[in-house]
Amino acid sequence: MAKATTTIRQSLNYQPQYAHYFAENAALFNRVVSFYFDCIQAHAGILALTNQEALTALERLTHATERHASPILPLDNIAPGIPAMFRRAAINAALGSARSFSSSLKKWRTRKEKHEAKQLRKSAKSRPFRERPPVAPRTWKKSAPFYAGLWKERQDHSIVLKVWTGSCWSWVKVRTLGRDLPADFEMQSPALVRRGAQWWLHTCIEKTFTAPPKIAGQVTNTETRICAVDLNINEHIAVCTVQTVEGTILATRFIGGGREIAGFRKCTLGRIARNRSQTGIIAENEQDNAALWAKIRHRDEALAHMVSARIVQFAASHGASILVFEHLGSLRPEKGRYSRRGNTKRAYWMKGRIFRYSKYKAWNAGGIITSRVNPRNTSRECHRCHGLVVRYNAGQPVTPKGGTAGYTPGAALVLCETCQMRDHADRNASLRIGQRLLERYQEPLKEKPHTAGRRGGRVSKETGVTRSQDAKRRSGPSTRQARQGDSNAHGTAQDALLKFPGNETCLQCHGPQRQAGPGVTPEAHSHHGANSEGNKCVACHMPQIAATIADVMVRSHTFNFISPSMTDKYGIPNPCTSCHQDKTTRWALDALDQWSNISPWRMAAR
C-alpha cells in the first residue's frame, strides 16, 4: 500500500482577544518542548528507545500519577493542569528535534575523525578541522498541534479548540475560511500556524491506495499511457501530450501564460533597477525593494501551482499513469541587461517549481509516477523518424533564398526533411520526451550489434554494411549457405536471435496504426501476397544487395527504398529486379507507376 499526504491550509475568523489566546498557547507549547528537550539531553539513553517507549519514559520522569506521585522533573512547575494530549504532542516534537540534533552531531564527529585520520597519514603539515559543530536549538518557534481531545465539533466552516489563555484552559470556537476537506482523505491532527498577524489552521490529510507498479513494469503493458511535458519560457509555459506505450498520440494541451508573466517580471525588475539607481549603496543585511521582490515571488509561485495543477488534471483525465519531464538542472541565463538576465533566471526557477509541484500533486491524484529524462536534442529530433528537424517561424521560408535549411532556436514550427513531418516545435519536443522514457526501459528489447561485432566489423563506406560476425562465432556456415540466407532478417543465413519472427519486429514501430507506419496493411503497402517473399519488410527496405567476401550478398541497412532508376543511373542493385531476375528495370518502373499508394519519397530519385 502507498500513502498520499497533503496539507489543507485554512485562514481563521475569530474574535480579537483570541489572537492573544493563540499566542499564549503557542508560547506554552514551546516552553514544554524546550523542557522535554532538556530532559532528553540529560538522559541520553532515551534516544536509544523507540518513540512509544521514549514517550512512556519521559512521562514517568515528569508526570505525577497515583503510582508515581513524585516525578523527578515535575512538569507542573511550568503550567498547571496541562492536558495529556498537549503534553504528548510536545514530547513528540522534542523527540524529533533531539533525534535530528543527535544525528547531525554524530555526522559532524564522523567527519572530524575522518579528517584527523587523513592528516595522520600525510607527511606534510596538518591542517586543522575548521567546521563548527552543530548547536542545540536556542529558541523554539514550533506550531502547536491539536491531538484528539484538544478539538471537537469540526464542521465544514468551524471548529472548537482547547487553548491556554494565559491563566486557564478554555474552549474557543473559530470559523475556518478556505478549501474544504476532501471526502476520500483521512484527517490528521490540525495545527495552529501564525503567518504574520493572522492565525491559520493547517490540517494534514492522508489517503491510502494500492501502490502503482514501477515504471519498468508499466512500460511493458500496452495499456499504459504516458503524459510527456515540455516546459518553456516563451508563450506556452507547458505543452503536454498523452501517448500510449505503442506510440499512439491521444491528446495534446498547450498551457499559455508565458508572455504575461515575462512582461510582469520585466516591468517589476525595471522598477527595482530604477529604485536602486536612486538609492545608491545599501546598508549591510538590509533588503531593498522587499515589496517588489515579494510581488515577483508570489506571482511566480501562484503561476507554478496553477500550471502544475493543470498538467496533473490533464494527465489524470486521459488516464496517464506516468508523468515525464526533462531534466533541466543546468540552465543558465545568457549575458545581457540586468532585467533580461533576471527574468530568464526566474523563468528557469519556475520550471523547477512546476516539476516539484507536479510531482507531489500527481502522486496525490492517485499514484501517478513522475520521471525525468535527458533533454539532449529533444527539440532537434523528429518524433517520427528521429532525424534532425528544421525549426522556423510562421511566414518564414524553411530554406532561405540562396541558403540551406537551418535551425532557428525558439521558432514555433518544425519540419523534418527526411519524413516531411510538420508540427509545432514544442509538441514535437514533448513527444520526443515521452519516447525517450520508453527508449530507456525498452533498450534491452532493441536489437543492437554485439560488442565483438562492433570491434571487429569491417564497414563499407559505400553501403554502410558491417561484415557479419556470426561466421567467426559459430561453426558450420559455408559460403553457399550464406548466399542463400533468406531465413534471417539481418545479415546472412545465421540466426540473428530476433525476439519476434518475420515482419513483427518492424511492425512494433511501423505498424499500420502507428505514426511511423504506412497507414495500411503490409500486403497493401507491398502489393505482394501475405506469405510471399516480397511482402517482407526487409525485402524492399533491407534488400540482399550488399557484397562482402567473394560473391556473398547480405542485406543492406540503408532502409530507404532503392528505385530501379538508380540501377540505370549508378549501377546500384535494386530490390525489384534482384528478386525478379527475369525482368528489366523498365518493367519494374512501369509496375511501380500502377501502385496508387506509392510514397513520394520512394520515387524521389527517378
> How confident is the model over 478-526, as pLDDT tens digits?
433 333 433 343 444 444 456 567 777 787 778 776 666 777 788 888 8
pLDDT of 549 above 90: no
Q: Output the average pLDDT for the chain.
A: 81
pLDDT of 457 above 80: no
pLDDT of 198 above 60: yes
Q: Which is higher by pLDDT, 344 or 100?
A: 100
pLDDT of 290 above 70: yes
User: Grid coordinates standing for 195?
Assistant: 503567518
Neighbours of 280 (CB within 10 A): 6
Cα pseudo-dihedral 519, 520, 521, 527, rounded to 10: -130
In the chain, the amino acid numbered 496 is A
Which pLDDT band holds residue 141 (cuts at 50, 70, 90)?
Answer: very high
Q: List beta partners, residue 416.
A: 389
pLDDT of 447 above 60: no
Report yes or no: 247 and 219 within 8 Å, Cβ to Cβ: no
pLDDT of 356 above 50: yes
The whole-angstrom separation of Cα 53 and Cα 50 is 5
* pLDDT score recorded for residue 338: 67
The whole-angstrom separation of Cα 361 and Cα 44 is 40
Among 12-16, 121-125, 335-339, 400-404, name the one with the lowest average pLDDT.
400-404
* pLDDT score recorded for residue 604: 46
Report yes or no: 11 and 175 within 8 Å, Cβ to Cβ: no
Q: Alpha helix locations (H) across 288-337?
A: 290-317
The whole-angstrom separation of Cα 370 and Cα 215 is 9
Q: Give CA separation, 128 vs 105, 110, 123, 133, in Å.
A: 18, 15, 14, 14
Among 39-53, 136-150, 221-235, 560-574, name the one with the lowest average pLDDT.
560-574
| Element spanning 217, H or E | helix 215-218
Q: Which is higher by pLDDT, 571 or 381?
A: 381
* pLDDT score recorded for residue 227: 94
The whole-angstrom separation of Cα 89 and Cα 55 is 10
* pLDDT score recorded for residue 169: 93
* pLDDT score recorded for residue 498: 61
* pLDDT score recorded for residue 443: 59
Q: Alpha helix locations (H) across 323-419?
A: 338-364
Q: Which is higher by pLDDT, 189 or 284?
A: 189
Q: What proportion of the chain, given as a percentage, has pLDDT over 70?
A: 82
* pLDDT score recorded for residue 495: 40
Strand 553-554 with 413-416, pairing: unpaired
Average pLDDT of the residues in 359-388:
88
Residue 368's closest CA among 79, 111, 4? Answer: 4
Among 101-110, 207-216, 233-242, 593-602, name the one with the lowest average pLDDT.
593-602
The whole-angstrom separation of Cα 382 and Cα 429 is 8
Among 188-192, 287-291, 298-302, 408-412, name the one with the lowest average pLDDT.
408-412
Average pLDDT of the residues in 419-444:
85
Average pLDDT of the residues in 457-465:
36
Q: Which is higher by pLDDT, 280 or 290?
A: 290
pLDDT of 15 above 60: yes
Average pLDDT of the residues in 175-181:
87
Which range scores top for mean pLDDT: 315-319, 394-398, 504-508, 531-535?
A: 315-319
* pLDDT score recorded for residue 104: 95
pLDDT of 301 above 70: yes
pLDDT of 342 above 70: yes
Q: What proportion of the chain, given as a percentage, has pLDDT over 90?
A: 33
Terminus-to-terminus CA distance in the chain, angstroms?
63
pLDDT of 88 above 60: yes
Average pLDDT of the residues in 566-589:
83
* pLDDT score recorded for residue 71: 81
* pLDDT score recorded for residue 471: 31
Among 55-59, 286-290, 326-330, 453-457, name the one with the lowest average pLDDT.
453-457
Domains in the chain, please, with CATH?
Answer: 2-208 (no CATH), 219-279+290-446 (3.30.420), 478-603 (no CATH)
Average pLDDT of the residues in 66-87:
86
The whole-angstrom separation of Cα 504 and Cα 485 is 19
**This prediction's pTM:** 0.63
* pLDDT score recorded for residue 515: 63
pLDDT of 181 above 60: yes
